[in-house]
Amino acid sequence: MQEVSADNAPVSKVKLPWHRTVVGKVAIFMLLGVVFAYLMGAMLGFTMVERSARDQWGREAQVNAQIVSATIRRIYTSVAVRTDSTGQVNQLVSARPIGDEDSVLSTGFSPIDVLALASAQTRRNVWLFAREANGSITPVADAFNSEVGEIVFPDTPEVPNSLSAKEFYVGFARIGDEDHFISSLPITTPQGDLHGLVVSSIGLKSELYQVHRDLILKVVASLGVVLLATALLVSMLMNQLFKPVPRLIRALTHIAHNQTEHRTPYTQRSDEIGCMAQAIEALRKKVEEREHLLEVKEQALRYQHLAHHDDLTKLPNRVQFNDALQEAVSQVPHGTSFNVMIFDLDRFKAVNDTLGHAAGDALLVEASQRVQGLLEENDLVARLGGDEFSIIQQANRDALAKANRLAHQLVEVLQEPFAIDGHDVSIGVSVGIALAPRDGTSSHTLLRSADVALYTAKAMGRGRYAVFSPGMTMGAEHHDR
């Protein structure tokens, strides 16, 4: 069903998918631009937030290290510190290990008590690790008096050795089964040998990144709102700007389907849309003219085919056969040789009279198909009329042998019964053969020679073939050589 517009051009109700329309593509492009800009801004914001958070976490961890070192020095008065240029404590120096039995006896504080004092100020857990004789770092105690696990720094797949643990470290590390943001303060001898580590946490990794997750959810929700609003605005704008485009597309679709009877809309406009419409209208007229020319050409080809082909068997007719024979004869002076065969079907009239003309036509069609199956690529078979056929056989070598072989095949294949309208029909064929240029150098002479040979074959009893020889005449009885 079609609608009719004000300018009488039909409007198809078949619509393109939204994403394939100009409006859709422009909208998608703009939405992608918005998404890209938004994501770039979000990524930049996340990077800034991440960097700011890292800096804040690092400063907090350094403050915790100062608090822990001060707490330990109040208890263990013999402990000294090393600092960097900014005054940040980055190493505790003690001649004796901290937290062993001797330190407990001398101070009256167990390692858990000392760590608990530090934890009370940092409000986070504090751990003490000792270096064993084999160089491994093992847990000693923590402020919460829980089961302490091994510490694994992110840059080492296993427990760090004494050399890597000597460095003051701020960042993420795994303690037991949990990831913490820590400050790791090494405890060394005055000579620089490692006694152990004091580690303080500012929080679990999952807790610290909870803010990031909340921020991501808010960004995604905001992006959805922005995209929805942008899509609505873009669709409204594009619909107003490109309203004529769908109708022009439908006009082009009609032209593509050879529906050229309707004029193109918007040709009266003077803007770009009008220029496009005028171009489409010019195309419509050209297509209309082309279709008319194609119809004329097809009709001419159809008439030409009918003029040169038999309507029943679709074989070339007498006109085309004569043209082909003239062409073949013209090549004889250049050394070309060929054979001309004329044959007709024996007992065909009896089939026509007994079973009717429809059966006779079916017999002619099937017989022509059998003959075509015997020919080589450059050979030609034509129906001259009635049950009479003729063949031009190319034979540049052994012309007589090729003629005998093809004629023998014709006799054999056409003697086989035909199934016509439920009846088994048996016929035969008589073939007359003339060799060019031996038996003539003109089409008239060759046809006459082949015709004489055909009468000779019939005189010998039909179902035979005969090759022309100079002694043959019409109606004379000759023996096949």
Catalogue the active-site residues.
Answer: 387
C-alpha to C-alpha distances, 91 to 49, 125, 140, 174, 318, nearest whole angstrom: 30, 19, 19, 21, 115
Kindly write down the DSSP assignment for every residue of 326-371, as one continuous string.
HHHHHTGGGT--EEEEEEEEETHHHHHHHH-HHHHHHHHHHHHHHH
CA distance 263 to 255: 10
CA distance 180 to 100: 26
The angle at the Cα of 168, spanning 164 to 171, to the nearest 5 degrees, equals 95
The single-letter DSSP state of residue 150 is P
For residue 230, give the H/E element and its range.
helix 210-241
C-alpha torsion sign, points 163, 166, 170, 173: positive
For residue 391, give the H/E element and its range.
strand 388-394
User: Is the distance from CB of 26 to CB of 238 less than 8 angstroms?
Assistant: yes
Measuring CA to CA, which residue among 108, 34, 36, 38 is closest to residue 75?
A: 108
Phi, psi of 342 (to 5 degrees): -120, 130
Kindly write down the DSSP assignment for every residue of 270-306, as one continuous string.
-SHHHHHHHHHHHHHHHHHHHHHHHHHHHHHHHHHHH
Strand segments (E) across 94-231: 126-131, 137-142, 151-152, 169-175, 178-188, 194-204
Burial of 65 per CB tally in 10 Å (0-12, 13-18, 19+) = buried
Of the CA atoms within 13 Å of residue 431, those in its CB half-sphere come to 29
Measuring CA to CA, which residue among 473, 436, 471 is closest to residue 451?
A: 473
User: Is the distance from CB of 415 to CB of 424 less than 8 angstroms?
Assistant: no
Tokens matching residue 355: 């079973």
What residue type is 77 in one-letter code?
Answer: T
